Chains A and B, each alone.
Chain A
Amino acid sequence: MGIQFGDVVFYRRVDKGIRDQFMRSAVRAAQERMRTSRLRAAEELGDWEEWRRLGEEIRRHTLEHLDYYLEQLSDRVHALGGHVFFAQTAEEATSYIRDVVQKRDARRIVKSKSMVTEEISLNDVLEAIGCRVVETDLGEYILQVDDHDPPSHIVGPSVHKDRERIRRVFAEKLGYTGSAEPEEMTAFVRQQLRPDFLTAEVGITGCNFAVAESGTVCLVTNEGNGRLVTSLPPVHIAVMGMERIVPTWEELEVMVGLLCRSAVGQKLTSYINCLTGPKAAGDVDGPEEFHLVIIDNGRSDILGTEFQSVLQCIRCGACLNVCPVYRHIGGQAYGSIYSGPIGAVLSPLLGGEDLYRELPYASSLCAACTEACPVNIPLHDLLIRHRQKTAEEKRQSPLGERLAMKAFGMVAESPRLYRWGTKLARTALLPWEEDGVIRQGPGPLQPWTSIRDLPSPERETFREWFENRRKRGERP
């Protein structure tokens, strides 16, 4: 699928999102649930701000010494008998994985938990060589069954569908006859997946964190399938973004705690899977062959820039769960597998600034995301920074806006122009005034008055009042 999906322009996707009442109420309900439980879970932890700072510090430190930790990780995995592959680009990654699969002559693949494999369009590549790739996380599974509907949330990819919609999809595509009860549908999916687990020759997963000191890959899931994917098939390929690393188990504990609490408001999720190398002599389970694919795909270009903090992200989705813009337009409107505030910052960096130029403007800069982020990424500042690049460095903002801002700069440093400007605005707007308001403004006021009344500027500005008062001698 790649980072981008579809080629509909942003504004049209926004309209579609806004019109989709169904999606919006599903998203709203999910947001509410996750937000409240996140706050409760954070409270239980004690000083949340302290934890955030610690989380931020760990992520920062790791990023600043990324070379060192990547080398340590890779050495450990090698020592344990696993294979490590550093992929600069999506193509390098997918062709390496394709080779592994082909060497095994594998046809059946089960997958679990991975945004980064979406990012590199892994499924397409594997399907093109005739493999059957089955997503085993419930959310991803639903999307796959529903004609590869794109994801709309980085933690709950099918959050835009409610139960009834899911039941319908299952009924249509898989002949499901049960109710819309989550338990019943989950049990059904389990049955569907069982033969896939048992026959798959390769299991592919993402990686929430890799522990450098031990060469361990850690998966955090809410379902038990992650464990099946990594233990049943003879080959396990873990795919990770190069930044998803922690130095030791100690930091892992902090990060997993922050992740679980921020993502779904749990102290710990039901399953935290830690895998260290392939099956050793005497182990009862585990894969015979283990590959760790570490993906750059644009990340190292972000290192050392003012956007570096975005690599601190642990993909918890907390910023999406508090974002009102996300709530009203839905994740798919972002046109990227990374949606919400983090998507608006990350997509232009990984997927191309031209492709995602509008996303940084789809925010009121309310900073709810920044407030929610467990690793202190200043998301709203980074959105402004993106806007600055578009406006000042690339000069790609609309000409009208550029001229208006130039004028703004002149007025802002000249009290005389400012005064003259306010007077002018007042007189110029007079013809449109009606009952003290402007209901249909001319030119640049149109977008404002299309939905709101504008108060008409007062006859006497504040500064005039202040001066007149002094003149009248009411005040010294």
Chain B
Amino acid sequence: MKVSLFITCLADLFYPEVGQATVELLERLGCEVDFPVAQTCCGQPAFNSGYHREAKKAARHMIETFAHADYVVAPSGSCTAMLKEYVHLFSGEDEWEWQEKARALAEKCYELTQFLTEILGVEDVNATLPAKATYHRSCHMTRLLGVKDAPMKLLANVKGLSLAELPCAHDCCGFGGTFSVKMAPISQQMVDEKVVHIEETDAEVLIGADCGCLMHMGGRIRRQGKPIRVMHIAQVLQSGLEKEGS
């Protein structure tokens, strides 16, 4: 199966290891992985801040970049939700052409764990991670994209991993893109509360499926000097197998 990767800008610049794990994981599961080099950013920062003209620039570019892909897979719930949002972004009367193209893109976009379970039909990727962990279900992934169970199914089959339920898992971590800097004091209260809940689980590892949330929570955890490791779910699913893939 041919898969075109969308490695989000945060993963590209700050977490290349997340992209690498994604590539290795997909290849290990028999996919032919392509990375269209023209890709940039999904446009979320502009869209959520109300700059829709700029968001449309990003959208048109991404639509064209992935026009020939069979499947577009991204290791991010939030950015995948944004790719699907393009359909609504082009809602003007003279934009129906772009809307059609946006719809075509939306139909072939998948968040990584969603792709694994729904398209590849895999729930056990044969990974091993002996650790106690907890999972942060990010808001856009669960509420906007509607992907709730896929990560859980996959994590349940990771050998050695014991997964503790995160108290108040439904609460936002306080990232929210530009919110995290524009409303830093509120964002801080939210993330501090989240860190308290994570600590309550006694987890050594915090797992998530969105680099944005992980960068925010991980950054706060580091600032507070807490001994909690932060991992993207792609890395977890590739744990114990890194060498085999390449």
Q: A-side interface residues toward B, CB under 8 Å?
A: 14-15, 18, 322, 324-325, 328-329, 361-368, 370-371, 384-392, 397, 401-402, 405-406, 408-415, 418, 422, 425-426, 437, 439, 444, 447-448, 450-455, 457-458, 460-467, 469, 474-475
Contact = CB atoms under 8 A, between A and B. Distances in A.
16 contacts: A14-B186, A18-B186, A18-B189, A365-B179, A367-B139, A386-B50, A389-B50, A392-B53, A413-B58, A448-B184, A451-B188, A454-B215, A458-B13, A458-B16, A463-B7, A467-B37
Interface in B11-32: 11-20, 23, 27
Given A452-B220, A465-B16, 20 more contacts: A324-B172, A325-B186, A364-B175, A364-B180, A365-B176, A384-B50, A392-B50, A392-B52, A409-B58, A412-B43, A413-B40, A448-B180, A448-B184, A452-B180, A452-B222, A454-B215, A458-B13, A462-B12, A464-B16, A469-B246
Specify which of B35, B37, B186 lies most central, judged by the most chain A CB atoms within 10 Å of its CB. B186
B176 A411 contact: no
Interface of B: 7, 9, 11-20, 23, 27, 35, 37-41, 43, 45-54, 57-58, 60-61, 139-140, 143-144, 170-172, 174-177, 179-191, 193, 215-216, 218-220, 222-223, 246
A387 B54 CA distance: 14
Contact of B14 (A364, A450, A452, A457): A457
Contacts of A455: 14-15, 215, 218-219
A391 B188 contact: no
Given A324-B172, A329-B186, A401 B49 contact: yes
Nearest to B18: A462
B184 A391 contact: no
Nearest to B11: A462
A364 B172 contact: yes
A453 B222 contact: yes
B51 A361 contact: no
A361 B179 contact: yes
A466 B27 CA distance: 13
How would you classify the secondary structure of chain B's contact residues: helix, strand, loop or mixed? helix
A412 B179 contact: no
Contacts of A461: 12-13, 16
Contact of B45 (A361, A408, A415): A408
Nearest to B138: A366
A154 B33 CA distance: 52
Contact of B50 (A390, A448, A452, A464): A390
A453 B223 contact: yes
Contacts of B17: 458
Contacts of B52: 388, 392
Contact of B190 (A325, A385, A389): A325
A455 B54 CA distance: 27
B50 A387 contact: yes
Nearest to B43: A412
A414 B37 CA distance: 11
B90 to A, nearest CB: 14
Nearest to A393: B50
